Amino acid sequence: MEEILKVEKLTKRYEDITVLENVSFSVKKGEVLVIVGPSGCGKSTLLRCINGLEDIQDGKVSIEGKTGMVFQSYELFPHMTVLQNLMLAPLKVQKRDKGEVMKEAEQLLERVGLSSKKNNYPRQLSGGQKQRVAIVRALIMHPEVLLFDEVTAALDPEMVREVLDVILDLATQHKTMLIVTHEMNFARAIADRVIFLEGGSIMEDTTPEEFFDAPRSERAKRFLSTFEYKKKE
Amino acid sequence: MGFEVLFKGKNMVRLLQGLGVALQISLISVAISIVLGLILGMLMSLKKPFINLVSRVYLEIVRIMPQMVLLFIVFFGYTKLTGRNISAESSSLIVFSFWGTAEMADLVRGCMAGIPKIQYESSRALGLSRLQTYIYVIIPQIVRRLLPLSINLITRMIKTTSLIMMIGIVEVLKVGQQIIEANRKSSPHAAFGVFATIFLLYFIACWPISCLAKYLEKKLA
Q: DSSP string of chain A?
A: --EEEEEEEEEEEETTEEEEEEEEEEEETT-EEEEE-STTSSHHHHHHHHTTSS--SEEEEEESS-EEEE-SS--S-TTS-HHHHHHHHHHHTS---HHHHHHHHHHHHHHTT-GGGTTS-GGGS-HHHHHHHHHHHHHTT--SEEEEESTTTTS-HHHHHHHHHHHHHHHHTT-EEEEE-S-HHHHHHH-SEEEEEETTEEEEEE-HHHHHHS--SHHHHHHHHTT------
> Ranked by mean pLDDT, which of A176-180, B79-83, B139-143 comes out on top?
A176-180
Within-domain flag for A232: no
Total domains in chain A come to 1
Q: Does the pLDDT value for residue B22 go beyond 70? A: yes
Confidence of residue A216 (pLDDT cuts 50, 70, 90): confident
Q: How long a stretch of residues is chain B?
A: 221
Confidence of residue A34 (pLDDT cuts 50, 70, 90): very high
Tell me which residue in B124, B126, B141 faces A79 most closely, judged by beta carbons. Answer: B141
Mean pLDDT of A172-182: 92
> Are the beta carbons of B128 and A92 separated by less than 8 Å?
yes
Within-domain flag for A233: no
Q: Give the C-alpha distances (Å, rounded to integers) separating B118 from A38, A63, B152, B211.
A: 23, 23, 29, 33
Within-domain flag for A134: yes
Q: Does the pLDDT value for residue A136 go beyond 90? A: yes
Of all residues in chain A, the percent with pLDDT exceeding 90 is: 53
Question: Which residues of chain A have a CB within 8 Å of the CB of B124?
Answer: 52-53
Question: Which residues of chain B have a CB within 8 Å of the CB of A141?
Answer: 126-127
User: Model confidence over A11-32: pLDDT tens digits?
Assistant: 998 888 888 988 999 999 999 9
Within-domain flag for A231: no
Residue A233: per-residue pLDDT: 65
> Are the beta carbons of A53 and B140 separated by less than 8 Å?
no
Q: Does the pLDDT value for residue B198 go beyond 70? A: yes
- Domain range for A142 is 3-225
> Ranked by mean pLDDT, which of A15-19, A79-83, A219-223, B191-195 comes out on top?
A79-83
Confidence of residue A81 (pLDDT cuts 50, 70, 90): very high
Strand order in the sheet with A3-14: A17-28, A3-14, A58-63
Confidence of residue A70 (pLDDT cuts 50, 70, 90): very high
Mean pLDDT of B177-195: 83
Mean pLDDT of B192-206: 88
Within-domain flag for A64: yes
Residue B221: per-residue pLDDT: 64
**CATH of the domain spanning B3-220, picked from 1.10.10.2520, 1.10.287.610, 3.20.20.70, 1.10.3720.10:** 1.10.3720.10
Question: Which residues, 6+ apart, have CB-to-CB distance to B17 below 8 Å?
Answer: B175
Residue A142: per-residue pLDDT: 93
Mean pLDDT of A56-77: 89
Tell me which residue in B128, B141, B220 faces A89 most closely, judged by beta carbons. Answer: B128
Query: Within an 8 Å CB–CB cutoff, is residue B141 touching chain A?
Result: yes
| Cβ burial, residue A13 (10 Å; 0-12/13-18/19+) | middle
Tell me which residue in A52, A93, A138 faces B128 most closely, judged by beta carbons. Answer: A93
All structural domains of chain B with their residue ranges: 3-220
Residue A28: per-residue pLDDT: 92
Distance CA B206, CA B97 (A): 19
CATH code assigned at A161: 3.40.50.300
Is the predicted ipTM greater than 0.90, yes or no?
Answer: no
Residue A207: per-residue pLDDT: 92
Mean pLDDT of A73-91: 92
Confidence of residue B12 (pLDDT cuts 50, 70, 90): confident
Residue A1: per-residue pLDDT: 66
